[in-house]
Every structure is written in structure tokens, then in C-alpha cells.
Homo-oligomer: A and B are copies of this chain.
Amino acid sequence: MSGMAAAAPGTNGNGQARERKPPGHRRGAAPPEMPAEHALLGLITLTGGEAHGYELARHFDPAHPLGLGEILRLEQSMLYQHLKKLERQGWLTVSLQPQGTRPPRQMYRLTEAGRAELRRWLAEPVARTREIRLEFLVKLFFALQLDRDRAARLIADQEDVSRGIAADLEAQLASLAGRAGDDPAATTELTFRRMVLELRLDQTRAVTAWLNAISGTRGAARA
């Protein structure tokens, strides 16, 4: 099956080393949202601008009172990899803080670039309805605690995006209704396409309604 001669790793037929672009994300797709990493930036800010890994990990426990762990889980093993990646990106700096006999804490602090990235991310609504359940909720979690005004704007912007998605789906449904009825063989596939679009539309409308409802929850938090 795989007995064919393959070029040696990192070479082409001429034996020349090639430059290989890092994989990155799919061409047509939107860039990844990386909610876990931004959550770390947010958590460090929430805990007073400085935190160590173990402390951050506790926030991802499903039983943690603030509730982040209920929407986003982060294994301890990934935590440190994310923190290293964030450091490579220049979004945070690490400093060792000795602890006597215990293993020294790695104290993480945001850089100015890290703070800017967190602000940018918090201001950006998500592009797709399926990203509401994870990415948007994480944004909302931090926006509510860091800056109520920013949270209100985020909700409003997201509502606009969701309305746009709904309008687009409605247009697609309308164009589907145009070519209906004549060919019974094509009816099955049209039926399925319509079902898919209707599901997406219903989900998007539910999100829009929810966004509208929570934007109304202003001071009702106190009552």
C-alpha cells in the first residue's frame, strides 16, 4: 500500500530544502478565537494583574464560584502550554518567585501588548452562531466583571451580528423557495437543505432574543 519511494523529510525532488509555511488555519475559515488563551489574559487581569499557574487553573474547575469552569474547561497540562505560547506571543511576562521549600511560583503579568489584545478581543463580537456558546460567553464573563459598559456594547454589537446572520439565512431560504416544486427527484435534497437553513435560523433567532433579554438585565441584578 505505501511501498512507494517517498522524498526524504523536508526535501523535494531536487534535494533542495523547502520553506514550509506553518499550518495555520483553514484558508476559507475565519481565524480561530482561542478562547482559552484570552481567558488566561482576562483571569490575570481579574486577579489583580498578576497570577501563577496553579491559581489560574483553579478558575477552570467546574465547581469554582465564578462559573467560568462551567463553560470552558482547561486541563492543567494545557494550561502551562498556553501560558508559554502567550509568553512567546509577547502578551505576558514571567518571573520566578521563590517559595521557600515549595517549587517556586511562575508569576505571570500582562505586557502592554497583552492588555491591548485583551481589550481588542473583548470588543469583538463573534462571527458565527455556534461560537456564541463558548467564545461569546467567555467574552461576556470577563466583560461583565471588568467593564460593565464594555459588556453592554459587546452585547449590542453581537445582537447586530446575529441579526445580520439571520437576514442572510432568510435570504437563502427565500432563494430555495424559488426553485421548488417542479422536479420531484430534487425535492428530497431541497427538503434537507431547507431543514438545515431553518435550524440555523431558529438557533440564530434564539440567540438574538437571548441577547436582547440580557441587555435588559441592567440593574435587575440588584433587585
Contact = CB atoms under 8 A, between A and B. Distances in A.
Interface string A123-159: 0000000101100010011001100000000000000
Nearest to A2: B84
Interface of A: 65-67, 70-71, 130, 132-133, 137, 140-141, 144-145, 177, 180, 184, 186-189, 191-196, 198-200, 202-203, 205-207, 209-210, 213-214, 217, 219, 221-222
A9 B140 CA distance: 43
Main secondary structure of the interface of A (DSSP, over half): helix
14 contacts: A70-B193, A70-B196, A130-B130, A130-B133, A140-B195, A144-B188, A180-B221, A184-B222, A187-B219, A187-B221, A188-B221, A191-B221, A198-B214, A203-B203
- Report the copy number of this chain in the oligomer: 2
B217 A137 contact: no
Minimum-distance CB pairs A-B, first 10: A206-B206, A202-B206, A191-B221, A67-B193, A202-B210, A199-B210, A195-B214, A187-B221, A66-B189, A203-B206
Contacts of A141: 192
A165 to B, nearest CB: 13
B67 A221 contact: no
A140 B67 contact: no
